[in-house]
Amino acid sequence: MHRFFAEERGCIRGEELKHLRQVLRLAPGDGIEVLYEGRRFAARLTEVSPEAALYAEGEELPSHEPRCRVTLYQGLCKGEKMDFLVQKCTEMGVHAIVPVEMARSVARAERAEKKAERYARIAREATKQCGRARAPEVLPALSFAQALKRMQAHERLLMPYEEGGIAFGAPLAARDVGLLIGPEGGIAPEEAEDVRAVGGVAVTLGSRILRTETAGLVALTLVLHCAGDLGGED
């Protein structure tokens, strides 16, 4: 089933309309799914024109959104690694992604700013592909100091750290989790101390050192598993 974001109820416009009309060539009577304000609906097209596609809304479908909201604070990484992270973490159910310029980041924040629109597009496409109801927000890149201040607001803050920490495994009751992943060079010792000072907890992903793009996806999966979000929906 083809899925589309609607910015207004009952109506699809913009790039979504262009894809619906010119690429998929859908017509009145065709069934679709609509993602609107964080909800997911079955729908049927009633009118398709160059200006808009109108639809009749049917039953509301399961959102497939995790109960545990995980915000991934990702140390800026180079090349297409951020593309991979945004796509795969969206599929897994991340709530938001915050790129962070850290002491050992090779990539720089100004370059990430230029790619913000690209990351948002990747997140939207991955959302439609995996059947979620809402696309995660991908925020503009922050400095480590800015991110640290934001991280303090979470119910739980976890920091996978190559120097060691507690193991995943115990059930996680928190419903708002911040997850900090270091860049290619890892988390600097002074950054790790700053995170601990605001209540963050160092955790381990095992004895093997993972690449930054692997660590973020694995840690997100483990958090959602421990929170009971990978075993089906209520």
pLDDT at 156 over 60: yes
Three state DSSP letters for 98-143: EEEECCCCCCCHHHHHHCHHHHHHHHHHHHHHHCCCCCCEECCCEE
Nearest to 160, CA basis, from 202, 211, 130, 123:
202
Contact 76, 85 (CB under 8 A): no
Q: What is the CATH T-level fold of the domain 3-61, as seen in this structure?
A: Ribosomal Protein L25; Chain P (2.40.240)
Count of CB atoms situated within 10 Å of the CB of 232: 6
At 123, the pLDDT band (50, 70, 90 cuts) reads very high
CATH C-level class of 69-226: alpha beta
**pLDDT tens digits, residue range 31-75?**
999 999 999 999 999 999 999 999 999 999 999 999 999 999 999
| 11-15, 115-119, 205-209 — most confident range | 11-15
Residue ranges per domain, the chain?
3-61, 69-226
Please give the single-letter amino acid code of residue 119: Y
Q: What is the mean pLDDT of the chain?
A: 92
**pLDDT tens digits, residue range 85-112?**
999 999 999 999 999 999 988 766 656 6
Contact 180, 195 (CB under 8 A): yes
Contact 43, 11 (CB under 8 A): no
